[in-house]
Homo-oligomer: A and B are copies of this chain.
Amino acid sequence: MPETVPTRETIEAAHERVKPYIHQTPVFTSQFLNGLSGARLYFKCENFQKIGAFKARGGLNAVLSLSAAQLANGVITHSSGNHAQAIAFSARKTGTKCYIVMPDNSPKVKIAAVEGYGADITFCKNTPEDRQRTVDEIVARTGATFLHPFNNYEVVAGQATAAKELIADAGAKLDAIVAPVGGGGLLSGTALAARYFSPGTKVYAGEPEGAADAVLSFRSGKIEKASYVNTIADGLLTHLGDKTFPIIKSEVTDIFTVSDEEIIQAMRYLWERMKMVVEPSGAVSTAAVLKNRAVFEGKNVGIIISGGNVDMGRLPF
């Protein structure tokens, strides 16, 4: 697999590869949110995607891009969140052995979801060192291929297919697309999709104030860590990678931070007005658009709703 930034052809091939396994999620509109933002909004609803998040796309493309010899030894990743489900789901669909390393304090509901896809779970202490050591041990023993949640070009090409579909299905030329940013897999894929399939469409990101590493990196020109991490948007805690950051640096127009209060308000609009279950991370792009009316007013704006995996017993409203 060539280690280069995904091309137009790479993303087209990724789309053909994952299409049989994913939902072509709908693009929704809302008169109410159009009114509130002053823009025409096109919501790409990846909360309705398999496993409840866009990550099914990247996971599938990464697994389906492996050679038969690699697949024979299985795949492995570490995650307590949507990426674990994405890899477990993708492995099951392709009949591949799957190892997931999870912190031993992971929520039961997430453990159950990964078990539901038949993955082999190994628990570790919730430290980066213990996590890596556990992964390394399993790789040494099994020869499984490690699939990083975002710092992997096949993952990026897979995530790009969400914006590719949005561009094709919106029914209007988009002036802008807004995606949330955590490790940057979705954002870099979105930026590449816009460059190849909708030249002239600007790409923006929303980021939680309580995990504001990407905006720092974007301003300073090198990968930075957040000065503190404390946000309800638990899918966006990580910092950028050396594969995702250069794409973001060259292709993204701006990154806007939003507070947890703004995220929860946007989430409530999406639930109450659009009848969609959206996780906090999934509402960040909407929050960024509502907060920056001057940037988006009068424009056709694509918004990527990244996921809908929430614990109904612990809602913020």
Question: In the complex, which residues 157-194 of chain A have their Cβ closer than 8 Å to any Cβ of chain B?
Answer: none
Question: Hey, which chain B residues are within 8 Å of A275, CB to CB?
Answer: 47-48, 52, 276-278, 308
State how many copies of this chain the complex holds: 2
Question: Hey, which chain B residues are within 8 Å of A47, CB to CB?
Answer: 275
Instruction: State the CA gap A244–B145 with chains docked (Å).
Output: 61
C-beta contact mask, A285-316 vs B, less than 8 Å → 1, else 0?
Answer: 00000000000000000000000100011010
Question: Hey, which chain B residues are within 8 Å of A3, CB to CB?
Answer: none
At the interface, yes or no: A197 with Cβ under 8 Å from chain B?
Answer: no
Binds B, one of A119-127, A202-210, A266-274: A266-274
At the interface, yes or no: A26 with Cβ under 8 Å from chain B?
Answer: yes
Question: In the complex, which residues 18-74 of chain A have their Cβ closer than 8 Å to any Cβ of chain B?
Answer: 26, 28, 47-48, 52
Q: Are B277 and A276 in contact (CB under 8 A)?
A: yes
Q: Are A272 and B312 in contact (CB under 8 A)?
A: yes
Can you add 19 more A-B contacts, CB < 8 Å, to A275-B277, A313-B317?
A26-B26, A28-B48, A47-B275, A48-B274, A48-B275, A52-B275, A268-B312, A271-B277, A271-B312, A272-B277, A272-B312, A275-B278, A275-B308, A276-B276, A276-B277, A277-B277, A312-B315, A312-B317, A315-B315
